[in-house]
Structure 1
Amino acid sequence: MTDPAPIDQFRLVCVRHGEPEQRARGRVYGKLDVGLSLAGREQVRRAVAVCRAWRPTVVYASPRTRARQSAEILASALGQDVTVEAAFAELDFGRFEGRTYEEVERDYPDVYRRWMDAPTQVEFPDGESYSQLRARVLAGLKRIRAMHVGGVVMVVAHGGVIRAVLADALGLDAAAIFRLDQSYAGVSVVDYRTGFSLLRTLNVVV
């Protein structure tokens, strides 16, 4: 299950950040920069053994504090450094950032309703749409694949980012991304060859 990647293959180890600080609970947060809770740090520490089994040699992280802190815990345990990659930042919810869902529903009822009905089809006021997120995430992934041919790369990011990667690997349309569970500190692994990708594990949590 954890055999080394052949030289013509790229292996991607995706890890979602741990649980965020209490102040993010019940609020919309993507670009909003919050760190890990104590429980979140422990979740990430438990993920070390799972990640180590896949032998990553490079670690990338979203610039958001919760992802960077998670990456630093993992990289330190694995003897690696962390490279921050802006392409892997979570979706920017624009004017909704930091607001409670009740506040968003009250102040932006039409957009809120569209968001709840078709979350991948709405563009957030002064923020992004899912299609914009997907485009930048996949562009970032293309760059690191070209840089690390034959390598095993870990990306520590966010639920939306990892779902975009997994949906692309599996050939799923946007509406299907929420069928891909992404728990805090969950580990998913994808193998890539030319024109082909294989999901090795999905959302492994210890």
Structure 2
Amino acid sequence: MMRTIHLVRHGDHDEVGRVLSGRSAIPLNAQGRAQAVALGEWFDGCRPASLHSSPQLRARQTAAPIATRLDLSVREAAALDEIDFGTFTGRSFAALDSDKDWQRWNRERATARCPGGETMAEAVARAREYLWSLPGGDTAICVTHCDIIRGLVADLLGIGLDRMFVLDCDPGSVTTLVLGEGHARLAALNVPAVRPAPA
């Protein structure tokens, strides 16, 4: 049976684009909280069977308004956690730019390992296994992280993890997968819950 999975990137926070937050307990900022509320409204009428979240604070804070709006409980899932970035965690991107291990990690996402952490393939495998374990015939919302979403989509499309950076995944966005027996497709990519104001 087919299952529809809405992958939600958590909302904005003050380290986005500046610091590799990883598994640190960074909360949503005001914009991120607004995105979380908008996501609840975006899913209104969707009638999902379940709502799942990474254990990270920013993901749980994103899931909370969705849960309230849709009258669902939030199931925390370690499989949806951010990549374990090991010693990269908490460092600014400016500082990481000259790090040879960081350069290799981004150049060879299919094989490189974060020092003291995971490979991209390990992170994608745990998330993929979790998604495929969800009941067939249902719609589920899974709040997770940018690289987990991009990795899952790259894996599904067969483009290889080294090329996952061709995929956009903005804070507060929705990417939708449809999974079935022997069949999977990308139904939507990086759809914003908050519509931009007209120019």
Please say whether Structure 1 and Structure 2 have the same fold, judged by a TM-score greater than 0.5.
Answer: yes
2:116 aligned partner: 126
Amino acid at match of 1:18: G
The structure-2 alpha-carbon separation of the partners of 1:203 and 1:113, relative to structure 1 and needing over 3 Å to count, comes to closer
Query: Please, which of 80, 84, 103 is the counterpart of residue 72 of structure 2?
Result: 80
SS at match of 1:197: strand
Is residue 13–residue 56 contact of structure 1 (8 Å, CA) maintained in 2? no
The structure-2 alpha-carbon separation of the partners of 1:23 and 1:9, relative to structure 1 and needing over 3 Å to count, comes to closer
Is residue 137–residue 164 contact of structure 1 (8 Å, CA) maintained in 2? no
Structure 2 gaps, min length 5: 195-199
2:141 aligned partner: 154
Question: CA offsets, 1:42-100, max 9 Å, x none?
Answer: 01212223222432120000000000110111111111110000000011111111112
Distance 2:130 2:45 in 1: 25
Distance 2:61 2:116 in 1: 27
Distance 1:204 1:101 in 2: 26
Work out the number of aligned pairs and report it: 193
Distance 1:113 1:126 in 2: 16
Runs of 4+ in 1 over 6 A off after TM superposition: none
1:115 aligns with 2:113: no
Distance 1:105 1:181 in 2: 20
Distance 2:129 2:91 in 1: 30
1:17 aligns with 2:10: yes
Structure 1 gaps, min length 5: 1-7
Is residue 36–residue 66 contact of structure 2 (8 Å, CA) maintained in 1? yes
Decide which structure has greater helix share.
Answer: 1
Percent identity for Structure 1 against Structure 2: 30
Q: How does the TM-score come out when normalised to structure 2?
A: 0.88
Q: How does the TM-score come out when normalised to structure 1?
A: 0.86
Amino acid at match of 2:23: K
**Per-residue deviation at 1:122?**
2.2
Greater alpha carbon shift after TM alignment, 195-204 vs 43-52: 43-52
2:155 aligned partner: 168
Question: CA offsets, 1:126-162, max 9 Å, x none?
Answer: 1111111112111222222xxx121111101111111
